[in-house]
Structure 1
């Protein structure tokens, strides 16, 4: 076989290796993110670390606050040290932080562990997305990212089984020790993962970048324009010029409600379902079904948005999510409840993603990265607020209002993204966008 024939085949295998390594890293990310919610019913029942519902909500918010910090700083750090090193550092950080949780003797140390874990979790996902985008085969970038996102929900499924198999016989600390296991993956990641092509090009390491591009049979990315901080600040200010400030705030509010819903439900679903009278085994099965729905939703939502438009799908998905979450407050036959949990996972976990797609479609190319980044960043405050809100309701003995509160968050996001889409369509009809853009946006 000639070398010209062998290279693409070898490049395909190596590109698959990059995606596979990132998938495993995000799997561990999902495991660490969801493990707290999976073991929380047991910790509250055993009063582990003197935990109360109010404190439990605070601890859930610590991790999401750490994710906010990690997500906002990941780009700057990656630009300095490289995507590969940042991924290795993030996996190391959240694994060691889980070990800190496992040995903690009080709420303060446990909270520190969850905060540090959140920093690692928040920094890993955007970096992994950047990596797989660099090495995705031509025309398969969106599909590759969708496949990568399934790993996060696979980690959620794994967290439920870890809790189900270990927590009752061994104790809650064993679940966090399992979350230290990804440390064994760190040397593999450090040795086998190539550096990001975009990073190499940006740093002027052209020869190394060309060699990697040839080895992986991928297109070498263009050199970045090299925006300075003033350029980035100008792009942010541009989101508020004229009447754009209304549109920007609507996107931010929709993102806030969406991530409040996502992380509130992710943290409190097993505990709230136990409060509805289901046993621990059933409550953890709900976590599995919820995340299976998330995997299906990630694969379905993108295709539906291509056909009907991301804004429309996001609004409909949030409406269906709100209905599903509200129904969970009603004690139904077990089989029906399983179905509702699965369908809620389908819609909830992809509705937020469609907000980002909407923002990306509705903004100009020069401000797109800024618009999506800040929409995600503002939404992270909702991710901090959601777990805290659930804890406060349970602490006030109003756990029966938990699903209702989260459902209202879904309704609010539906309203905000719907109004934003309508305003954008009206502006576009006056000459703001081409007909093709309107067809794409739906």
Structure 2
């Protein structure tokens, strides 16, 4: 269960009769989560960055079809990790889930580096996915909780930029470290999060006051709220139900309440969005190389599209605030479809770089804005469940994207991959547009 933030804004004073503790800055939480999500983005994108070299390694025994399957194992692991993260958070808290997820995806990278064949490499990527799946949503919940209320959206956008910085870092490793030391060295570098981030998390990252409050540890929650200058809401309601059964009932309620018409449309848009994100991240270098571009340029396209993603994250919120989130998300999906179709053409290298960059602007933030439409589609009590299930169903698209790309490449029809991506963009645009036109909860 996603626990709604129980803290917002700044506390005016310390509790009466108690000496004020030395304040800590909520910025620390953002910086730590930013670092973790950076490594998340690096691990997701590193497979695509080194895939051309892996396919050329006869000792590994990886072919395009198997490579697509392995990419789906990664995202399937992320799906399981994301679903498990809710129960683990209920039982242990957000801090242990972030630390444990970081250790797990680092261990998966080590398994990949040492893998003697394609099957054991796939197992390593599955383990990596298990760790990656829970880290992103829990980090997002943490920074939203510790951010001042007026800056919560901005803070979330800043956090999401780290994913694309991680993607650029993965590309840099693919262009430099892999070129000199082989593809295995890049996966050995994936152990760095366990060595660098985990000690910092154990030292500096606090537990979520919202989780502590839900678990009945009110004194500790109040102490942390005072320490970080947060306002703690009093727990007057009965404890919320947790566990698998509670989540299943919450999902059924999404089809019965005021947002019932929007639910399948929102899920379809999320499915298409994550199919695009993970399909493109996994296969872009190999697709561009098959289109006739050189090996260095093909991998560099992954860096460029992630650079575009950073720009998109910074501007999408501002544009959506003015014109409407669902409307802008639909336009972004359409522009992604146009970009994918243009990439199916053999154009001059500088033109292709520009197309890849602007496609990155639309592609990644289109998916984020799907999530941003949730508060407008459901009543307040269903927003958490609506967001959680849209994310979970979207993970199925993340599983399918790499597999589809692998199947198309295996049959030597690389241009059709871009057509499939364009079709996903068009479908996502239609779905989120129609979702945005459903009656608001207050109208029902």
TM-score greater than 0.5 by the shorter chain: yes
Aligned-pair CA distance for 1:344: 0.5
Does the CA-based 8 Å contact 1:101-1:109 persist in structure 2?
yes
Alignment of 1:114-193 (within 5 A): 114-185=125-196, 186-193=198-205
Aligned-pair CA distance for 1:35: 0.4
Q: Which residue of 2 aligns with 1:72?
A: 83
Q: Which residue of 1 aligns with 2:405?
A: 390
Superimposed CA distance per residue, residues 268-310 of structure 1 (whole angstroms, 9 cap, x where no aligned partner): 0111111111112111221111111111111111111111111
Does the CA-based 8 Å contact 1:197-1:221 persist in structure 2?
no
Alignment of 1:282-321 (within 5 A): 282-321=297-336
Whole-angstrom distance in 2 between the partners of 1:68 and 1:87: 16
1:433 matches 2:407: no
Aligned-pair CA distance for 1:138: 3.5
Task: Please point out which of 294, 300, 304 is paired with 1:279.
Answer: 294
Q: Which residue of 2 aligns with 1:440?
A: none
Q: Which residue of 2 aligns with 1:199?
A: 211
Q: Which residue of 2 aligns with 1:210?
A: 222
Whole-angstrom distance in 1 between the partners of 2:90 and 2:58: 44
Q: Which residue of 2 aligns with 1:260?
A: 275
Superimposed CA distance per residue, residues 62-113 of structure 1 (whole angstroms, 9 cap, x where no aligned partner): 0100110111111110111111111110000000110000001011211111
Alignment of 1:328-347 (within 5 A): 328-347=343-362
Cα distance 1:50–1:369, how it changes in 2: closer, same or farther (>3 A)?
same
Structure 1 window deviating more from structure 2 (210-219 vs 163-172): it is 210-219
Q: Which residue of 2 aligns with 1:90?
A: 101
Whole-angstrom distance in 2 between the partners of 1:222 and 1:43: 55
Cα distance 1:320–1:9, how it changes in 2: closer, same or farther (>3 A)?
farther
Whole-angstrom distance in 2 between the partners of 1:10 and 1:243: 46
Structure 1 window deviating more from structure 2 (140-149 vs 208-217): it is 208-217
Q: Which residue of 2 aligns with 1:57?
A: 68
Whole-angstrom distance in 2 between the partners of 1:311 and 1:385: 24
Whole-angstrom distance in 2 between the partners of 1:243 and 1:200: 31
Cα distance 1:157–1:254, how it changes in 2: closer, same or farther (>3 A)?
same
Whole-angstrom distance in 2 between the partners of 1:261 and 1:321: 9
Does the CA-based 8 Å contact 2:291-2:414 persist in structure 1?
no
Does the CA-based 8 Å contact 1:138-1:218 persist in structure 2?
no
Whole-angstrom distance in 1 between the partners of 2:213 and 2:107: 32
Superimposed CA distance per residue, residues 136-181 of structure 1 (whole angstroms, 9 cap, x where no aligned partner): 1231111111101111110000000001001122111000001111
Whole-angstrom distance in 2 between the partners of 1:57 and 1:83: 32
Does the CA-based 8 Å contact 1:236-1:367 persist in structure 2?
no
Cα distance 1:48–1:309, how it changes in 2: closer, same or farther (>3 A)?
farther
Whole-angstrom distance in 2 between the partners of 1:89 and 1:247: 35
Whole-angstrom distance in 2 between the partners of 1:307 and 1:319: 19
Alignment of 1:320-399 (within 5 A): 320-399=335-414
Whole-angstrom distance in 2 between the partners of 1:214 and 1:393: 56
Does the CA-based 8 Å contact 2:379-2:442 persist in structure 1?
no
Aligned-pair CA distance for 1:246: 4.3
Q: Which residue of 1 aligns with 2:29?
A: 18
Whole-angstrom distance in 1 between the partners of 2:140 and 2:436: 26
Q: Which residue of 1 aligns with 2:432?
A: 417
Aligned-pair CA distance for 1:244: 5.5
**TM-score, structure 1 length as denominator?**
0.91
Task: Please point out which of 227, 231, 241 is paired with 1:228.
Answer: 241
Whole-angstrom distance in 1 between the partners of 2:399 and 2:375: 24
Aligned-pair CA distance for 1:234: 4.0
Whole-angstrom distance in 2 between the partners of 1:150 and 1:58: 28
Does the CA-based 8 Å contact 1:8-1:217 persist in structure 2?
no
